[in-house]
Every structure is written in structure tokens, then in C-alpha cells.
Amino acid sequence: MNKNTIKLLAVDGGDTKTLAVLVNEDGTILGKGKAAASNYQVVGAEAAKEVLVEAILAAFQDAGGLL
């Protein structure tokens, strides 16, 4: 497989921030993204969705635009 093949997208969303990480099958971090809080109980469902997308897109951008 290509060394830039994404094996895992991990997202941690909480009350203060949202982090997204892209990892290849060797465990190498390809990109990281960070955004605002995404706990839907705090910010609401629509805002949480937007923040999750923002963090994930930032991770892809950090990885060199692998989309």
C-alpha cells in the first residue's frame, strides 16, 4: 500500500476542543486537526457536526490534502 494510505481516522470531541488525527498502517501520523468544542449537549447537534467536519478537514489539510 501507499505510505500515505489512511488506515485510521481518530476524533476526540469534547467540551473544550475537538481533535482529529489521520494515521497510516505503519502508525505514522499523517495529519492533525483541531477545532472548537463539539459536545452536542453543550453546543447543539448542528454546531457539533460543523466542528467535527472542521477538525477532520484540518487533519486532511495538514496531511497534504489527501482527500
Residue 1: pLDDT band by 50, 70, 90 thresholds?
very low
DSSP conformation letters of 51-63: HHHHHHHHHHHHT
Give the contacts of 41 (CB within 8 A, at least 6 positions apart). Answer: none
Query: Per-residue pLDDT tens for 13-65?
Result: 999 999 999 999 899 999 999 999 999 999 999 999 999 999 999 999 999 97
Whether residue 66 is predicted with pLDDT greater than 80 in this model: the reply is no
Residue 10 phi/psi, 5-degree rounding, is -110, 135
